[in-house]
Amino acid sequence: MPKLKRLLVSACFETAQRRRQCSRNKGHDISKGDRCLVIKENMSKNNYCMECAQLILEKAKEDLNGLILELDRND
Ligand SMILES: [Zn+2]
């Protein structure tokens, strides 16, 4: 069977090895030892604090749910 195309970009939680800055809001600090969401897209790599990670994941879920609803529509 052909390999399934993955819709999601590569994302994972990591523990910050040093102090980082949230890519969505430069005012959000990610301290050393904090967990953060790392999203690799094309050639760039972005870190997000847990607050933004939750918003990003919830938005992704909404987007997917919207697509799934359309998939089931019969018109
Ligand atoms: Zn943030």
How remote is the CA of residue 64 from the centroid of ligand 1, in Å?
A: 22
Q: What pLDDT is attached to residue 72?
A: 85
Per the domain annotation, does 25 fall within a domain? yes
Q: Label residues 17-50 b or e (16+ Cβ within 10 Å = b).
A: eeebebbbeeebebeeeeebbbbeeeeeebbbbe
Per the domain annotation, does 26 fall within a domain? yes
Per the domain annotation, does 32 fall within a domain? yes
How remote is the CA of residue 19 from the centroid of ligand 1, in Å?
A: 13
Q: How many structural domains is the chain composed of? A: 1
What does the pLDDT look like over 1-59, one tens digit per residue? Answer: 788 888 778 899 999 999 999 999 999 999 999 999 999 988 899 999 999 999 999 99
Per the domain annotation, does 3 fall within a domain? no
How remote is the CA of residue 52 from the centroid of ligand 1, in Å?
A: 4
Residue 75 has pLDDT above 80, yes or no: no
